[in-house]
Structure 1
């Protein structure tokens, strides 16, 4: 079975739909489409400098879903979402969670700025989500367990597809240290290898990493998305 995974990116502070050819799958191919956003920083509403907005993202995903050439369409967020604008901070992230719930997001991970309200508030926000936040390497020191979900396997059109999330260890100095004083952020590559091995035992056919690691050249390669991919 061949894989045909389409990723539509609506990324960064100004959200733009990336160019991506949509071709009818050949016989025997498996079709799955991901519409993903990252680093939204509280910019839920469409605006001159803020991009298309969450509502437009949901509309794009719905249109793609109606085209059966795309297979199942999932909405994914790669972090740094719940903090950054008045819209987000007045409710300490709750307005963003509500917007993403309404849009029908499926999965998210944690960006460094998603910790800005502190651990207690972050846990409250996680409990409000209709979508699933995955961050396998974010561990609560008091329980020894992941703060959010580790990974999730869904059977989509008869095929097992696994999703897991990773947060950047740079969170240690990219949010107030008090926000994460009871949190450990483990090595993303070591975590990824462990999670992937577990999913392979479960006979997962395709695996999707939702990682807030970036590609900044000032960041150590092992903490970049490209470093994760190479590993």
Structure 2
């Protein structure tokens, strides 16, 4: 049976915004019209293997009560991975006609995984090359191995990477010279403009981006629109700015026909329409393949159909050629990747906008090891849940990067200022200023009220059960990445008696999990109370 005919039966993801398995908007197809299909992925984060969903959770941004859009899986089953993604892409190309199908990615594709680290991103790029992607917008994590390595990976991929709002300071031009591409079908020309994440410089190692400047998308759209309107009939934005910014973009620019989103890991099945612009997005982790069918009459977009194909392994066979490629890439590293570290007796998940079970567990271990009052770790938006056997690569899916640990002293006043910063990061006055997830902590309890003014959102702060004292010094444990101003947490770099350790956070976590043998949900969950969402 054709997988795409039974999709509505097998897909059981619950959405509390943008629900439904597909939609049609606009006028019916006319006799002289043409249909062009666009397939799209976003935020793969190096997740090339299937993973098992868990009820209410599974990825870092499903089952998170802190998100504006709540997404929850309703069954425990295997989903995703490039072998089934390849099957879905091949089938759609066969149905629609390969020459009528484009394949795009909205960024954060090849990093955030142990095999990704071992191959500096090449493993997933080789898979993307085999799938014959047409274009990719550069996400913030696509610079995790440095600008130079990103360029090397683009050459390996054989398709362009772009970011119109990412300027190479050495040339003064858009990175890699691919701010947009033009594709022509019959007599219709489609322009696809790529936009990266404007706050990329606040989300990773600054040394990897020292030659780059990141600008707001609306600034460069204004610059490029006249040029695109001259060269194309249909204008598409391939965006790694997040849904909130995509909505602002649609409100501001009436000449954009379609925005294919990324960064916020949203599921937008029924295309949102703002003015004359449609917006779609397809979650993350190679678990979903988005499909858009554009109906064009006399060079004008007259209708759109869109749906998200959830890649349940029960519905899709693995493509044997892709499976062979994956095995060949894994084989030299298999023993290292699959080393068993511990057993999780309950679901240890990562949340992004609320307290994270995984970070709480790691934070508790850090506090114990370094006799600290409080641990602080960044709110991170990628990673999948741990349950059952936990391997080395499972841990690296959650902590792929290698900052070293650090301790420092902080006054109570500085603790409060840091907590106010995370409150501002999540809901600032200007949506372009949103960056990162909720600051993850252990040892400090507090109430965060988004209904209050900036700078006055944090109250009832206690450290290990005792009220915070402004002048008292507290011992803090964190990692060196946080000392560089990651997610605007500049206050940590101003702490006293900073001591950098010789062990990386991921290796520390791996060693401690191995010592424990069994891991479970920390007892001090619930230290943070969030109001006024």
The interval holding the TM-score normalised by the smaller chain is 0.7 to 0.9
Distance 1:68 1:120 in 2: 37
Once the two structures are TM-superposed, the CA of residue 208 in structure 1 deviates from its matched residue by: 1.2
Q: Is the 8 A contact 2:137 2:163 kept in 1?
A: yes
Query: Hey, what does 2:37 align to over in structure 1?
Result: 33
Query: Hey, what does 1:6 align to over in structure 2?
Result: none
Once the two structures are TM-superposed, the CA of residue 21 in structure 1 deviates from its matched residue by: 5.1
Q: Is the 8 A contact 2:111 2:144 kept in 1?
A: yes
Distance 2:34 2:223 in 1: 26
Provide closer, same or farther for how the CA distance between residues 30 and 230 of structure 1 changes in structure 2, counting only shifts above 3 A.
Answer: farther
Once the two structures are TM-superposed, the CA of residue 37 in structure 1 deviates from its matched residue by: 0.8
Provide closer, same or farther for how the CA distance between residues 22 and 65 of structure 1 changes in structure 2, counting only shifts above 3 A.
Answer: farther
Distance 1:55 1:104 in 2: 14
Once the two structures are TM-superposed, the CA of residue 182 in structure 1 deviates from its matched residue by: 1.0
Query: Hey, what does 1:197 align to over in structure 2?
Result: 226
Once the two structures are TM-superposed, the CA of residue 157 in structure 1 deviates from its matched residue by: 3.2
Query: Hey, what does 2:116 align to over in structure 1?
Result: 88
Once the two structures are TM-superposed, the CA of residue 28 in structure 1 deviates from its matched residue by: 2.9
Report SS of the residue matched to 2:174. coil
Higher relative contact order (CA 8 A, sep 6+): 2
Distance 2:107 2:42 in 1: 5
Q: Is the 8 A contact 2:37 2:96 kept in 1?
A: no
Count the aligned residue pairs.
Answer: 207
Q: Is the 8 A contact 1:151 1:195 kept in 2?
A: no
Distance 2:236 2:85 in 1: 20
Once the two structures are TM-superposed, the CA of residue 105 in structure 1 deviates from its matched residue by: 0.9
More displaced stretch, 179-188 vs 52-61: 52-61
Query: Hey, what does 2:50 align to over in structure 1?
Result: 46
Q: Is the 8 A contact 1:107 1:131 kept in 2?
A: yes
Q: Is the 8 A contact 1:31 1:70 kept in 2?
A: no
Query: Hey, what does 1:136 align to over in structure 2?
Result: 164
Distance 1:123 1:165 in 2: 16
Q: Does 1:20 align with 2:22?
A: yes
Report SS of the residue matched to 1:44. coil
Distance 1:228 1:51 in 2: 32
Once the two structures are TM-superposed, the CA of residue 69 in structure 1 deviates from its matched residue by: 8.6
Counterpart selection for 1:178 from 207, 219, 224: 207
Report SS of the residue matched to 1:67. helix
Q: 1:94-137: per-residue Cα shift (whole Å, max 9, x none)?
A: 11110000011111111101111111211211221222212111
Query: Hey, what does 2:189 align to over in structure 1?
Result: 160
Distance 1:155 1:75 in 2: 15
Query: Hey, what does 1:8 align to over in structure 2?
Result: none
Query: Hey, what does 2:246 align to over in structure 1?
Result: 225
Instruction: Return the index of the structure with the highest Cα Rg.
Output: 2
Provide closer, same or farther for how the CA distance between residues 122 and 69 of structure 1 changes in structure 2, counting only shifts above 3 A.
Answer: closer
Distance 1:110 1:34 in 2: 18
Query: Hey, what does 2:328 align to over in structure 1?
Result: none
Report SS of the residue matched to 2:183. strand
Q: Is the 8 A contact 1:154 1:162 kept in 2?
A: yes
The TM-score normalised by the length of structure 1 is 0.81
Distance 1:205 1:93 in 2: 35
Which structure 2 residue ranges, 5 or more long, are not aligned? Answer: 1-12, 14-19, 54-77, 253-533
Once the two structures are TM-superposed, the CA of residue 154 in structure 1 deviates from its matched residue by: 1.2
Provide closer, same or farther for how the CA distance between residues 113 and 66 of structure 1 changes in structure 2, counting only shifts above 3 A.
Answer: same
Provide closer, same or farther for how the CA distance between residues 201 and 195 of structure 1 changes in structure 2, counting only shifts above 3 A.
Answer: same
The TM-score normalised by the length of structure 2 is 0.37
